[in-house]
Amino acid sequence: MISDLVFSERLMGFHKPNSVSLAGRWVLLLALLGVLLPAIFLGYLLQSKWLKPLTILEQIRHDGRLITITTKSATTYFDGPNGPAGLEYDLVSAFAKELGVSAEFIFSSDSKEIAAKLRHGKAHLAAMGTTPPDAARKLNHGPVYQQVTSQLLYRSGHVRPVSIEQLTSGILEVSSGSPEDALLQKLQQSGDLTLDWTASDETDFEQLMYLLDVEMVDYTVADSNLFAFERRHFPKMRVAFDLDEPRPLQWLSAHSKDDSLNREINRFFDKIRGNGFLQRSIDRYYAVADNMTIARSLTFWSFIADRLPMYELLFQEIAAQHDYDWRLLAAIAYQESHLNPDAVSPTGVEGLMMLTEATAETFKVTDRTDPKQSIIGAIRFLKFLEKRIPEEISMPDRLSFILASYNVGLGHVFDARLMTRVLGGDADSWPDVRQRLPLLAEERFFSKLKYGQARGDEPVTYVDNILIYYDLLVWHTSFRNRNINSPVASVQ
């Protein structure tokens, strides 16, 4: 018979292995969970967007910036009176805003360098305002938004060559590494061009135009869109002939597996074509240039060369005292009086800035023919108007409203804004109000407005002209400050 003690010991011995086995099972379970749970979580992450490689478009949005290669030129990116400007600057900035990121620009005019930066991820796109070079063949090409040709340029007063076969003598110069340089190499290899040329590392297109203007070179080459814009700066430049067939202008981006950026670029251009933004952007630069005829350009530069030096320091001193841009004041003076302090109009306005008698009295001008008083009075009047333009109207539209008010009166501008709103336009947009201002001359409209009839087409022309002259003076001073004699020196 088994004693109770032995029974208890056996009982304890019997249960001990079971107890150890249960603990081992828990350890094994925990170990398995320690392996399985991370594996399950990792698998979830791999299937989620967190650990998936970001597309190029997602990476741009994640980084918060769109890096674009461009060149500094009149058709791409330049320092305007209100900050950076240019067609490519405007389009890229709008695209970046669409993506919810900031636009950053880097600059290069070397075709191979541009293609390499795109392929190596140093930039997201190239917006060059010129035809994609041969080095860009393996890149994505966005939608076509303009057509251009390469043109041979010469100076008026010289014999115009009518074909490339006639280019047997003379100095032809372009920028080294530029698309123009590549085109000339191609023409030479094909046997079409026998004239040698100089490819300079130190000169850009504006400097080449200056060298052509002062007859230090005989020819240069430019895309038709660039010449269309720059001809108002160099009114003696002429087109001899086209060097190639029309070519498309397109943005460039690197090939990628996801193609997300290229698709977004296509979507963006579809949108801005549909809502008119693309055409308005093109018109902003080229329509203004088209309005500046050769005759007007020659007249303007002649006055700037002859008369501006007499008043430039005075404009600068007074403008600095009142925190104003002297070039805007000079542009107004040219439009008003052609820089003549003794000018008098049939309606009685007079002086350099052509102030009315009432305006002169309001702003304490005792002698309208005194250039200093006239300029100070004009600044006071402009600042008075600026304070009364609604704050929600921003630059550059704001400047146009101020100038229109200087010309036709603040009340008529407010009437035009009201009429614009009633007719379904944007009363804060100068392009919209600009379209309605001429209606102030029609009784069916002015009879219902507070300030009555006005020749509304006059402020439209007035603003257009001053903005042209202002841009030209900004360019003129910028070009002059590059330690090159101003191109107006050759105007006769």
End-to-end Cα distance, the chain: 139
Half-sphere exposure of 122 (CA within 13 A, CB side): 13
Residues 6+ apart with CB under 8 A from 353: 329, 332, 333, 336, 337, 374, 375, 377, 378
CA angle 322, 470, 289 (to 5 degrees): 165
Residues 6+ apart with CB under 8 A from 176: 199, 200, 201
Nearest Cα to Cα of residue 67 among 111, 133, 129, 126: 126
Q: What's the token pair of residue 77?
A: 């990116």
Say if CB 377 and CB 350 are below 8 A apart: no
CA 423 to chain centroid: 30
Residues 6+ apart with CB under 8 A from 65: 96, 101, 102, 103, 104
Select which of 336, 350, 357, 443 is catalytic.
336
Radius of gyration of the CA atoms of the chain, in A: 34
User: Cα separation of 227 and 289, whole Å?
Assistant: 10
Say if CB 411 and CB 451 are below 8 A apart: yes
The reply to whether 336 belongs to the active site is: yes
- Residues annotated as part of the active site: 336
